[in-house]
Chain A
């Protein structure tokens, strides 16, 4: 611990010197070394992000400020994606005196990492917006999505009324799911809906597991708790390794939903492997699950393969 912090201190003290030395010997700036040296995906994007955020060059800090503002206003990805990325690339080429034709490959690689870094930030903002949107039963779109969730999970059973005990069959707490979304708001419903819509077979299969009379769990409530897990992994940056490796271009909402679906299927397996006595074991198993997911995500080569192949019995 002591040695580690000493090493870290020495590194930060010597970092300008190391960078200068490498620049002189390789004739490449740090961003180029990362883009040429690291494989595409999380290793490269995280390397570039580190280098950019620690840059002391005013022009680069200005680029960061500008792109942060764009992504916070949901304007990074969209109509102006190309110009936003170009702005970053052109500035770096100028400041670091990089020849655009010789380093054509750098332009492409660096541009892609910029797209990923600020796409991720924008995704964070979009996810946060959905989370802050409370479920509103007077909003027809919210209601439609909720009813759609039922249909996809239980295509053969009709919902007898909007407020009914049947909701408990898919793991809501009471007769009306609207109070169950709580702090996760519409994000919880969007996640559940996406899972049931895009992976209908897998979600029905997981639902069936959850109905086990002794050591089953409440599907929807656990789902909302997993939304909370996915949300925190995204917000604190732990999910970056997977997202940067998984999304070819900019991370978008779909990638977040798919991470959620992965977590749900994995949790289901983890739950039964943990041999729970009953539902009161949930907090412990959930925490163990989070620890195991975070350990895997700490590896920059991690990609969660969403393998929804369902064993048919």
Chain B
């Protein structure tokens, strides 16, 4: 498995635990991403009420991934999970062009939170398998990612259902965390 190989690479920092926070609007694909990271079945996903957490462990290395529901009513609770976050993973439904603005605003608010200052940001431009998906470059421009100077960031095109692009994002995380 691709992911396992990445995790083995991360072995060089033994016993290190990473806290990854998965956020994004509802229907962005956060839970699907979480399940595919844990190599679990993704056919039976339901909307997340509250949150899901999974630990993916590999030879003394542990990824604690927190997947918080994206529904508007739940977003005020996001802040309860900010503390000690090593990497923020922000997931976007690239095919939901109507809500690109909304997702941009949410991200902007997140990045301005004091508890999130300096936390590396990985944006997954998800659902690239859909015909009308916006390309990652267009989303990066729309979100104004290029103006971010206070943290490492990366945008990664992916399809969580097809399992494509996820590995590349995780590799970026492993590189970024090692540099720290």
Main secondary structure of the interface of A (DSSP, over half): helix
A283 contacts B by Cβ under 8 Å: yes
Residues B50 and A281 in contact, CB atoms below 8 Å apart: yes
**CB of B72 to closest CB in A, whole Å:** 7
**Stretch with Cβ within 8 A of B (4 or more), from A81-89, A97-105, A136-144, A174-182:** A174-182
- For B77, list chain A residues within 8 Å (CB): 278-280
Q: B residues 23-54 with Cβ under 8 Å of A?
A: 26-27, 42-47, 49-53
A228 within 8 A of B: yes
Q: Are A182 and B80 in contact (CB under 8 A)?
A: no
Chain A residue with minimal CB distance to B52? A283
On whether the beta carbons of B44 and A225 are closer than 8 Å, the reply is: no
Inside 8 A of B51's CB, which chain A residues have their CB? 280, 283
A225 to B45, CA, bound (A): 9
A-B interface contact total, Cβ < 8 Å = 69
Judge whether B73 is part of the interface by a CB distance below 8 angstroms: yes
| Interface residue tally for chain A (C-beta within 8 Å) | 27
Shortest C-beta distance, A133 to chain B (Å), equals 13
A272 within 8 A of B: no
The complex places the Cα of A228 from the Cα of B45 at a distance, in Å, of 8
A174-B26, A280-B51, A281-B50 known; A184 vs B74 contact (CB < 8 Å): no
Interface residues of B (CB under 8 A from A): 26-27, 42-47, 49-53, 70-74, 77, 80
Can you list 16 residue pairs at the A/B interface with Cβ under 8 Å? A174-B26, A174-B27, A174-B71, A179-B26, A180-B26, A180-B27, A180-B47, A182-B27, A182-B47, A183-B45, A218-B49, A225-B47, A228-B46, A278-B77, A280-B51, A283-B53
**Closest 7 interchain pairs by CB?**
A282-B50, A183-B45, A173-B71, A183-B44, A282-B49, A173-B26, A179-B27
